[in-house]
Amino acid sequence: MNAQSMLSMHSPPGYQVNFDILQKFEQCLDTLQPEANPVPCKIRGYGEISTVIEIQEKGMQGLVFKRISIFETPDEICSYLDIYLDYNRLLEEKAGINLPAHGHAALLNPDGRPVFYIIQESVPAFSIGNQLLRLLPAEDGVMLVMCVLRELHKVWQFNANQTTYEIGLDGQISNWALREFGGTDAHLQEPIHLVYIDTSTPLFRIQRQEQMDAEMHLRSAPSFMAWILKVFFLEEVVNRYYDFRKVIIDLLANLYKEQKDDLMPILLPKVNAFLDEEAASLNIPPIALKELQDYYREDALIWSLYLSMRQFDRFLHARILRHGYPYILPGKISR
């Protein structure tokens, strides 16, 4: 892999990334066994289109690399990069959402396929929201979710106060981290400074026009399901992230997946009080417990089936058709 294989690169502020190591990692990557790479690495997490990787080499410390491989041409990478940078700017400068230090790299893999890496300042695993919930006492867990809710409120306040832009957001608890948490703290310490760590799907509209090419994200779906998802589900799924009430329902219902539904008797009345008081101008109806339970059951079934289909698609590509499979998939996920 030569220097021309690196299409674009930018280190996060305060860091100097060794891009040669990143190129070597991608060149040697086996998506079926990513941690067998000769470049030492650890998989930190999985998204729908990205995999979070820690590269354990000099020049890569304190960073995570979110690999996105849905692109087919360098032009698609360039378009995505512009939208990704605009999304980060809107979140930070307009909505007041804190993001970790971030940069990027766009390169070609050995097959000539473009791959994009979001490079982020790493946060300790124990400081990420879903892990925090397991460490904190119940009252602090409730406080944490309410802090996330107030961060989300900033976005929808911005949306409501002007007509040019509309920002969408996936507000799940695992997309937030707490900078100051030391891992051994017994309680949350105020002030609480949350950072939003999931910017790989840049959802925003200008004059009601979606800026992201949502269909491109279907490429990571099973090839035999993509047209069904496009026709019947794509628009609904994208629109969900622009609806504050649905984003809150998703946030709360996800607590069932994290086995923290014991918080709900205390948390749900606080959420509804917040909607009635602090967010009154948005006129959002209260949320019922049954809505959350029904939403979670349906969501868990859909995503479990979806992952099974992706794993079958990987088997077809890698073992039967003997084609390269560009995506890294998780194992079984507890829900």
* pLDDT, position 332: 55
**CB-CB neighbours of 122 under 10 Å:** 19
Q: pTM of the full predicted structure?
A: 0.90
C-alpha 296: how far from chain center: 19
Question: Would the CA dihedral through 270, 276, 280, 282 be positive or negative?
Answer: positive
- Of 112, 115, 111, 92, nearest to 102 by C-alpha is 92
Three-state SS sequence of the chain: CCHHHEEEEECCCCCCCCHHHHHHHHHHCCCCCHHHCCCCEEEEEECCCEEEEEECCCCCCCEEEEEECCCCCHHHHHHHHHHHHHHHHHHHHHCCCCCCCEEEEEEECCCCCEEEEEEEECCCHHHEHHHHHHHCCHHHHHHHHHHHHHHHHHHHHHHHCCCCEEECCCCCHHHEEECCCCCCCCCCCCCCCEEECCCCCCCEEECCEECCCHHHHHHHCCCCCHHHHHHHCHHHHHHHCCCHHHHHHHHHHHHHHCCCHHHHHHHHHHHHHHHHCCCHHHCCCCCCHHHHHHHHHHHHHHHHHHHHHHHHHHHHHHHHCCCCCCCCCCCCCCC
- Structure tokens given for 238: 């994208």
* pLDDT, position 254: 92
Task: Give the separation between CA 106 and CA 83, rounded to whole angstroms.
Answer: 14
Residue type, 79: S
- Of 258, 261, 260, nearest to 333 by C-alpha is 258
Domain locations along the chain: 3-121
* pLDDT, position 324: 72
**CB-CB neighbours of 280 under 10 Å:** 10
Please check whether residue 218 is in contact with residue 230, taking contact to mean a CB–CB distance below 8 angstroms.
Answer: yes
Give me the residues of the chain with pLDDT under 70, please: 1-4, 183-186, 226-227, 231-232, 300-307, 317-318, 320-322, 331-335
C-alpha 204: how far from chain center: 15
* pLDDT, position 1: 41
The topology under which CATH files domain 3-121 is Phosphorylase Kinase; domain 1 (3.30.200)
Please check whether residue 257 is in contact with residue 110, taking contact to mean a CB–CB distance below 8 angstroms.
Answer: no
Please check whether residue 115 is in contact with residue 108, taking contact to mean a CB–CB distance below 8 angstroms.
Answer: yes
Task: Give the separation between CA 83 and CA 81, rounded to whole angstroms.
Answer: 5
* pLDDT, position 188: 85
* pLDDT, position 166: 98
- Of 176, 152, 138, 134, nearest to 266 by C-alpha is 138
Please check whether residue 284 is in contact with residue 244, taking contact to mean a CB–CB distance below 8 angstroms.
Answer: yes
